[in-house]
A and B are shown apart, each in its own frame.
Chain A
Amino acid sequence: MHTATQLAHSVQIGLGVFYLFVALMNVGFALYQCYAANNRRQGIVWSLVAGVFLVHSLAYFAGANWIISAGFRDFTTQVMGYYGGQLGPILYTTVSIILFVLFLRYRKFFTEPVVAWSILNLGLLAAGWSLTDDNFRKIITKEDNVPIVMLIFSVGFFTWLPFRRAVLNDERMANGEPPMEKEEEEKVLVWPDLVYTEMIAMIVCTFVLVIWSVLLKAPLEQPATTAKAPNPSKAPWYFLGLQEMLVYYDPWMAGVVLPTMIIIGLIAIPYIDFNQKGNGYYTFVERKFAITTFLFGFIVLWCTLIVLGTFLRGPNWNFFGPFEYWDPHKVLPLNNVNLSDYFWLPLGVTFPEGQGIGGILVREAPGIILVLLYFAALPPLLAKTIMRPFFIKMGFVRFFLLINLFQFMAALPIKMVLRWAFNLKYIIYIPEYFFNI
């Protein structure tokens, strides 16, 4: 399927409304800069930005046909398809991790309101341009996917807000001042202050849900039958991270062990993290390790995988670029090989099928040794070397609990990288007893 070169009238109206909304947002920001922040120059800059978006809006209302360049679109699709069709997920995950690290490292710059606002504007502009592509629009505006679009923006905002406050607090504390929250320790009453706020929140929530249910149809599908699974078959959006995990792991691991570890890990956080700092105020410097680890798990391993699963996984669970047509016959050769084959085949050793436990253990010895080393030898090694200060501070039980939970979390990116780099299927492969890692 090729993208239409002429936008439908309804799309033009939709884009007009979209750009009008963005223009109004920028008018608001310009007014804020001018009058609340008393920054005339910023006010002028954002008025100009609002003007540019307004021109876009009016042009689309008037029937403009500005569409994303076919060259760029095809280039993106082509790049995603490099490396045997595997570059897409590699690029996606690598860029997510790099952005995450850059954000933490240069948090002072990124949380600057003007910078954050610029990023939001660039994102909206990119979305606006992309929406002129049929394939992109079809997936973004699907009823099921609306919450995920909202998730991208709300996670972005709610990451920015505490980091902004943390950066300000860290600066204050570096100058010997107390954090902002300590200065505004004015108490409010449950009734009426809190209860009224809650009531208004409930009314707004109900209102939004009513509008939503009127405007967007329920994403119902055909009656279920075992003979025909929808293609792609997607888990509910909040489980797409788990579904992505299942691509790399045996269901026993990705469906039982790792989710259990996530829950145990979340329960264990208050017992492992006994750092009293950061209680009642935002800070990053005082809790670097805790915040980085948690956000890596939440944002990189949970949220970005939801976005990947929603927008970039198409028929047959293949990866599709953002502007690519979801072709159910897309051919991606993914010949996956087990570690035991990598180890024994070059040595000329083959193992017959249906052998006993002894033979299986010999066959899988390389993988078993690696996994044992990972879980049993790596933690003491870390305690002796680079994580020695942690070990001394936390004590034996806490430290090993932390490291083991950390290893389970790291297991997912490690397996992803191994799959991409070496086409590795399973490290330990014992299908005879449903035990594959």
Chain B
Amino acid sequence: MADKSRRGFLRTIFGTWFGIAWTALTASAAGMTLGTIRFLYPNALSEPPSKFKVGFPSDFETGQVDNRFKDQNAWIVRIRDPQLGDIIYALSTTCTHLGCTPNWLEGEQKFKCPCHGSGFKITGVNFEGPAPRPLERWAIRIAEDGQLEVDKSKKFQKELGQWDDPESYVKV
């Protein structure tokens, strides 16, 4: 007969071996569920700082792609743009097709992705292979100390007409 008093409840869940077994099972199942939920939020630093300085504008040569910041997901490129003149911009190193990291091929003057063969011009515009849109550009500005500062928290996409935004390049 079920004992409906407060002590009876405790006796039911801890008083018999059968009760202890079920209680332990419930507790461990609940623990596992909580652990699984906790697993979805890894205990890691979310992002390295999104802003970093890459040097003075005079450090970059016109027509050159700077590979030094590739592990920070940026190529620093200085070109002579027909409309804007001498500009520096920061290209994202993530292929817009499926997210591999392309390589800059100096001899062929193009970024070429090793995964599916997408090719991008020095401007980041896609011209061969399956990549559906140009590489993205990061925000770039001249900081107070005169160095270039890339800000990866803002991105600019050509197909949305965002490359005209003065934040997406630095005029030299």
**Chain A residues near B (Cβ < 8 Å):** 225-233, 243, 246-251, 255, 315-318, 329, 331, 333-336, 352-354, 425-426, 429, 431-432, 434, 436
Q: Is the CB of A436 within 8 A of B100?
A: no
Q: Is the CB of B161 within 8 A of A352?
A: yes
Bound-state Cα–Cα, A331 to B114, Å: 14
Q: Is the CB of A317 within 8 A of B114?
A: yes
Q: Is the CB of B73 within 8 A of A226?
A: yes
How far is the CB of B99 from the nearest CB of chain A, in Å? 8
Q: Is the CB of B116 within 8 A of A354?
A: no
CB-based nearest A residue for B94: A226
Bound-state Cα–Cα, A397 to B105, Å: 52
| Chain B positions within 8 Å of A331 at CB level | 107-108
Q: Is the CB of A353 within 8 A of B107?
A: no
CB-based nearest B residue for A230: B114
Q: Is the CB of B132 within 8 A of A247?
A: no
How far is the CB of B126 from the nearest CB of chain A, in Å? 9
Question: Interface residues of B, CB < 8 Å — how many?
Answer: 31
5 inter-chain pairs at a CB distance below 8 angstroms, sorted by A residue, are A230-B114, A248-B130, A316-B117, A317-B129, A425-B130
| Chain A positions within 8 Å of B115 at CB level | 229, 232-233, 243, 246, 317
Dominant SS at the B interface? loop
| Chain A positions within 8 Å of B101 at CB level | 226-229
Top 9 A-B residue pairs of the complex, sorted by shortest distance between their CB atoms: A354-B161, A317-B117, A227-B71, A431-B133, A231-B114, A334-B128, A353-B161, A431-B159, A316-B112
Cβ contact of A335, chosen from B103, B127, B132, B162, cutoff 8 A: B127
| Chain B positions within 8 Å of A228 at CB level | 70, 101
Q: Indicate whether B29 reaches chain A with its CB closer than 8 angstroms.
A: no
Cβ contact of B100, chosen from A229, A431, A434, cutoff 8 A: A229
Q: Indicate whether B119 reaches chain A with its CB closer than 8 angstroms.
A: yes
CB-based nearest B residue for A426: B132
Cβ contact of A246, chosen from B98, B107, B114, cutoff 8 A: B98
A226/B114 contact (C-beta < 8 A), A231-B103, A329-B105, A426-B132 known: no
Q: Is the CB of A431 within 8 A of B132?
A: yes
A318/B130 contact (C-beta < 8 A), A227-B101, A251-B97, A431-B159 known: no
Bound-state Cα–Cα, A76 to B86, Å: 46
A250/B159 contact (C-beta < 8 A), A226-B101, A329-B108 known: no
Q: Map CB proximity to A onto B112-152 as digits: 1 under 8 Å, 0 otherwise.
A: 11111101000000011110110000000000000000000
Q: Is the CB of A225 within 8 A of B71?
A: yes
Having A336-B129, A431-B132, one finds 19 other A-B pairs with CB under 8 Å, namely A227-B70, A227-B71, A227-B93, A229-B115, A233-B114, A243-B116, A246-B130, A249-B130, A250-B97, A250-B132, A316-B103, A316-B105, A317-B115, A329-B108, A353-B159, A353-B161, A429-B132, A431-B159, A432-B160
CB-based nearest B residue for A235: B115
Bound-state Cα–Cα, A243 to B97, Å: 12
CB-based nearest B residue for A227: B71
Q: Is the CB of A318 within 8 A of B70?
A: no
| Chain A positions within 8 Å of B117 at CB level | 247, 316-318, 334
Bound-state Cα–Cα, A436 to B159, Å: 13
Q: Is the CB of B114 within 8 A of A229?
A: yes
Q: Is the CB of B71 within 8 A of A316?
A: no
Q: Which of A230, A233, A255, A429: most chain B Cβ within 10 A?
A: A233
| Chain A positions within 8 Å of B108 at CB level | 329, 331
Q: Map CB proximity to A onto B48-70 as digits: 1 under 8 Å, 0 otherwise.
A: 00000000000000000000001
Q: Indicate whether B158 reaches chain A with its CB closer than 8 angstroms.
A: yes
Cβ contact of B162, chosen from A243, A354, A425, cutoff 8 A: A354
Bound-state Cα–Cα, A316 to B100, Å: 11
| Chain B positions within 8 Å of A226 at CB level | 71, 73, 93, 101
How far is the CB of B110 from the nearest CB of chain A, in Å? 9
Q: Is the CB of A336 within 8 A of B114?
A: no
Cβ contact of B107, chosen from A230, A329, A425, cutoff 8 A: A329
Q: Is the CB of A317 within 8 A of B116?
A: yes
| Chain B positions within 8 Å of A243 at CB level | 115-116
CB-based nearest B residue for A423: B128
CB-based nearest A residue for B95: A229
Bound-state Cα–Cα, A174 to B114, Å: 54
How far is the CB of B26 from the nearest CB of chain A, in Å? 37
A353/B158 contact (C-beta < 8 A), A243-B116, A247-B116 known: yes
Q: Is the CB of A432 within 8 A of B159?
A: yes
Bound-state Cα–Cα, A354 to B112, Å: 26
A335/B128 contact (C-beta < 8 A), A316-B112, A432-B160 known: yes
CB-based nearest B residue for A317: B117
| Chain B positions within 8 Å of A248 at CB level | 130
Q: Is the CB of A232 within 8 A of B114?
A: yes
How far is the CB of A211 from the nearest CB of chain B, in Å? 33
Bound-state Cα–Cα, A297 to B160, Å: 38
Bound-state Cα–Cα, A210 to B115, Å: 32
| Chain A positions within 8 Å of B158 at CB level | 353
